[in-house]
Amino acid sequence: EELGYDAVWLPDHLLPPAEYGPVYGGAHEPLVTLAAVAAVTGRIRLGTSVLVLPLRDPFLVAKQTATLERLAPGRVVLGVGAGWEAAEFAALGADFTGRGARTDDALRLIRHLHTVGRGPFEETRYAFRTGVFAPIPTAPVPVMVGGVSDAALRRAARFGDIWQSVGLPPETFRTRLAALRAHTSRRIEAGARLSWPGARRAADVAAEARAFAAAGAGHVAVWFGPLDGFDDRMTAFARTAGLGG
């Protein structure tokens, strides 16, 4: 926040088949950690990039995100994805092939709980007749859909307030953004993720971020690699990119 960054994004894997790190992200549970971040910041957005929604109880996710939004009004983004690691689904006893449909139903449920706050709610996978949900967030928590597949773009067009790509160069990002825009006329913020574990110059990473902006990205999230040197890279990028902190 002091360096001028606008958001903190935390990843999510519950039981990956290998060690946490470049592939599976950090080990700390993201929503709990974002609550701690909320307590020591006052401006930045607090988001997940992304929560593997079909591996979680959507009633609990709705409760957690609504609570977090009440602690940090207007700053919370629920970033979700359908997941990609089949071994993780198998370890948790979750159906991998039906994860997309389960994600869509979970998003419908979460939006209902955040706006209506009570039953009835009827969907194929999640339904309840009676019950009161609280707290209601001060405003519905924005949903960010992550991923670059056709299914992810359709999900973003249908449910998302934000879309975020991962693993794409700027020109491919431009193409996928055009595909997203073809699915909907709604205004959806577009963003991109890039990685800088330390092998390149800060000026080159800042140039890549500017290329994403030129391709239509409204935000660029940077993963700064291992903890060793993380602070230095984060500071160097902020200064080189002119974040104004």
Domains of the chain: 1-139 (3.20.20.30), 165-244 (no CATH)
Closest CA to 2 of 230, 244, 237: 244
DSSP assignment of 159-190 equals H-SEEEEES--HHHHHHHHHHHHHH--S--EE
- SS3 label, residue 101: helix
Catalytically active residues are 13, 85
pTM for this predicted structure:
0.96
pLDDT string in tens for the chain (245-residue length): 999 999 999 999 999 999 999 999 999 999 999 999 999 999 999 999 999 999 999 999 999 999 999 999 999 999 999 999 999 999 999 999 999 999 999 999 999 999 999 999 998 899 999 999 999 999 999 999 999 999 999 999 999 999 999 999 999 999 999 999 999 999 999 999 999 998 899 999 999 999 999 999 999 999 999 999 999 999 999 999 999 76
Q: How many Å apart are CA 108 and CA 53, to the nearest integer?
A: 12
